[in-house]
Chains A and B, each alone.
Chain A
Amino acid sequence: MNVAYFPGCSLQGMASEYDKSTRLVCKHLGINLEEIEDWNCCGATAAHSLNHLLSVSLAARNLDLAKKMGLHLVTAPCAGCYGRLKAASYELKNNSEVAEKVSQIIGTSVPIEPEVKNLLQLLVESIGTPAIAEKVVHPLKGLKLAAYYGCLLTRPNQVTQFDDREMPVSMDLLLQALGAETVNWAHKTECCGGGYAASETDIVIDLGGQILESARAAGADAIVVACPMCQTNLDTRQKAIGAKRGIKYHLPIIYFTQLMGLAFGYTPRQLGFKRLLTEPFSLLKAQGLA
């Protein structure tokens, strides 16, 4: 199956291990990702918090480019990019006034198509966990994981139409299909502090701290993410959070695609595990996975 691929800025920068593992895993599952030609930034928090029309227009250009490539489905691994693309596509469908303005700005008819799915959704809906389970050669036996979805994969549910908005299960089922165990915990969709990493670090230390503590209390060995912002916040601020709370955390923050790749038989090196700040190797080695 051919899918338009929107990597986004983080995946060509800080989160290149997410990009790498996404491409490997999709190829392995027979999904042909076609990178959107000359894509631009989705607009991120900056655009929607300062200029709404700009935010919809930047996202719309990407949808339009995908449409011109003849593709009907766009996927974005970054939950932030996905959120912007999906919100724009929803607004263009449901608000004719904005749609009219945007089509003038972009200079084409409004890109109603293609449909936008986040990467997790694409994998569980279009491939399905049974088919994914069939590809597993190294079951992730012994790993106790906290599946962390963050805000934007499921919310607002009216727009995303994906999984349960506050107690989602798709990533849990996927990780179980890989042979891992997932913990029950309360912070699956709480916010990590998002785009405030640099400008209001205290917010990230507060909100991210609640997430780390909840995962630790539930007995997780690691937190599994589907967003570079979640990964960066929980990983890079882990020490500061520990200092603040007086608890020493050691929770590797791993992209779900890295774990899929591992279960499919790729090596940690191919999947960029060494780029994670909180080192994951002692955990993987203890279970004979590295």
Chain B
Amino acid sequence: MPELTKKPTEYYFKAVKLNQLDDSLQQEIKLKCGVDVETCMECGKCSGGCSNTHIFDITPRQMIKLIKMGREEPLLSMDSLWTCVSCQLCVDRCPSRIDIPRVMDYLREKACQQGIKPTREQVKLFNELMLGSIMKTGRVEESLLAVKFNLKTGNYFKDADLGRQMFFKGKLKAFGPRVKNLKKIRQIFNDTIQKEG
């Protein structure tokens, strides 16, 4: 089983003063993602269904609770941001249809914007390299991406055996067709980075 990096008790069960709760994070999430967590009834079905709750430091239900309590800092540094597999089980089981994966994405994006160090840097790195490939060619070149990732992580021989097998199966092919209108792709990247900060 993958390792649990932090115990939830480290920040979740700190005492809170009920007269000092603030709903600004809850309002922000409503405004920015269109997700209203007010209707959460704390039933825990999201956490019960979640694919990776057994390795989460903060479970989906706890995450919603912390949003209501306005406790942003544990949310932006939680390990769950980097182990959520976006499987959509939580939102599908939620009786209130609270879009937890969307909130997860929002919090991750915010954490990155604030320069908060991810608990699993290699996950962020992989995604950044993938975006780099899309920006450059409009598409993802899987084999180049794998090579770049291994070079950057200094893990030169990760999956080398597997790589060899896949090569002989013709599965690793560099330089597939690219997007022709690359100007448009670059412009989409520039505009969205500007708009989202």
Q: In the complex, which residues 42-65 of chain A have their Cβ closer than 8 Å to any Cβ of chain B?
A: 43-54, 57-58, 61
> Given the complex of chains A and B, what is the CA–CA distance between A199 and B150 in angstroms?
10
A282 within 8 A of B: no
In contact, A202 and B139 (Cβ under 8 angstroms): no
B24 within 8 A of A: no
> Given the complex of chains A and B, what is the CA–CA distance between A197 and B33 in angstroms?
28
Report the nearest B residue to A274, measured CB to CB. Answer: B169
In contact, A40 and B139 (Cβ under 8 angstroms): yes
Which residues of chain A are near B177, meaning CB under 8 Å? 12
> Given the complex of chains A and B, what is the CA–CA distance between A53 and B184 in angstroms?
15
A106 within 8 A of B: yes
> Given the complex of chains A and B, what is the CA–CA distance between A101 and B33 in angstroms?
14
Instruction: Tally chain A residues at the interface, Cβ within 8 Å.
Output: 57
Given that A44-B140, A200-B122 are contacting pairs, would A155 and B88 also be in contact in the complex, using a CB cutoff of 8 Å? yes
> Given the complex of chains A and B, what is the CA–CA distance between A101 and B108 in angstroms?
21
> Given the complex of chains A and B, what is the CA–CA distance between A190 and B52 in angstroms?
11
B196 within 8 A of A: yes
Interface 0/1 of A63-106, CB less than 8 Å to B = 00000000000000000000000000000000100000100111
Given that A46-B134, A61-B184, A200-B122 are contacting pairs, would A52 and B191 also be in contact in the complex, using a CB cutoff of 8 Å? no
Residues of B at under 8 Å CB distance from A? Answer: 1-3, 33-34, 51-52, 55, 82-83, 85-89, 91-92, 97, 99, 102, 105-106, 108-109, 112, 120, 122-128, 130-131, 134, 138-143, 146, 149, 158-159, 162, 165-166, 169-173, 176-177, 179-181, 184-185, 187-189, 191-193, 195-196
8 A–B contacts, CB within 8 A, in A order: A40-B138, A46-B126, A54-B192, A165-B92, A202-B2, A203-B55, A275-B170, A277-B165
Closest 5 CB pairs of A and B: A191-B87, A46-B130, A155-B88, A199-B126, A202-B2
